[in-house]
């Protein structure tokens, strides 16, 4: 099976930096035309300047937490490029650090809207406007945090656990015409995760079997595989990419 995306059209949310931008760049390098979205137009302009061929990239400022914006984003993608083959639900946020019992309603709602509800609204928009009749691929970006409890970022992790389940549910509901998979990254060198790695990267890396934290390109490589024909018989799955961080011996064994 080929991983070439020649002639295909993709939408990537949260694509002005980090993992989203790396995925968009990898898709364009593999032949796709891509719509990149983020909330701030100035950040999108900087991101678009990193692509060699501007004609392959359309920037659309969009609030990922708004269903109206989700519908508009997909509509603009189809109007501009004529179709939609791939949706990458990458946008995420983590505005709160602390115990679940102390989070306030506003931060809880914001995290839910961006990390969890946006998966539904953007996939629904893509389905109803194009993929229901033409097929396609959806890729969600989850997190290894969605696999278990962790100090400080519990609510973020709850929303990412929901992404893993949403991936299974959507894959079942939208098959056979649309494949839906997810990637669960470990700690990656992004601005969103900066507080988790910046001051203690050597210590964290020493506990990861591959002895380094991730880079956005590590995630982009798997994203390309999952949205291409190379994974044509894979759906409903969440692929962990974490340098082996979750592959550790049980306490007292070995």
Point out the residues that are catalytic: 156
Whether the CB-CB separation of 5 and 53 falls below 8 Å is answered with no
3-class DSSP state for residue 197? helix
Contact 227, 139 (CB under 8 A): yes
Find all residues with CB under 8 Å of 137, minimum gap 6, and list them. 85, 86, 87, 178, 179, 180, 181, 226, 227
DSSP 8-state class, residue 50: T
**Whole-number Å distance between alpha carbons of 73 and 109:** 22
d(CA 136, CA 98): 39
Whose CA is closest to 212, among 228, 230, 190, 189? Answer: 189
For the chain, the C-alpha Rg in angstroms (whole number) is 18
Asked if 87 and 123 count as a contact pair (C-beta separation under 8 A), the reply is yes
Which of 29, 32, 146, 147 is CA-nearest to residue 88?
A: 32
Q: How far apart are the first and last CA of the chain?
A: 40
């Amino acid at each position: 099976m080929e991983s070439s995306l020649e002639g295909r059209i993709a939408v990537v949310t949260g694509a002005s930096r980090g993992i989203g931008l790396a995925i968009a760049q990898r898709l364009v390098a593999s032949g796709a035309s891509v719509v990149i979205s983020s909330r701030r137009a100035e950040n999108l302009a900087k991101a678009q300047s990193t692509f060699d061929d501007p004609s392959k990239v359309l920037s659309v400022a969009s609030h990922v937490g708004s269903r109206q914006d989700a519908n508009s984003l997909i509509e603009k993608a189809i109007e501009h490029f004529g179709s939609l083959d791939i949706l990458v639900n990458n946008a995420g946020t983590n505005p709160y650090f602390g115990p679940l019992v102390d989070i306030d309603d506003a931060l809880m709602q914001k995290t839910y809207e961006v990390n969890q509800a946006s998966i539904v609204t953007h996939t629904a928009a893509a389905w109803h406007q194009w993929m229901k009749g033409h097929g396609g691929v959806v890729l969600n970006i989850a997190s290894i945090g969605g696999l278990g409890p962790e100090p400080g970022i519990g609510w973020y992790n709850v929303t990412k656990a929901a992404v893993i389940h949403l991936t299974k549910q959507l894959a079942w509901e939208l098959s056979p015409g649309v494949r839906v998979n997810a990637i669960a990254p470990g700690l990656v060198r992004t601005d969103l995760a900066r507080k988790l790695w910046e001051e203690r990267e050597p210590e964290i890396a020493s506990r990861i079997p591959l002895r380094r934290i991730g880079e956005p390109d590590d995630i982009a490589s798997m994203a390309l595989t999952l949205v291409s024909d190379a994974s044509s018989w894979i759906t409903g799955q969440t692929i962990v990419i974490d340098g082996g961080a979750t592959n550790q011996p049980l306490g007292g064994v070995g």
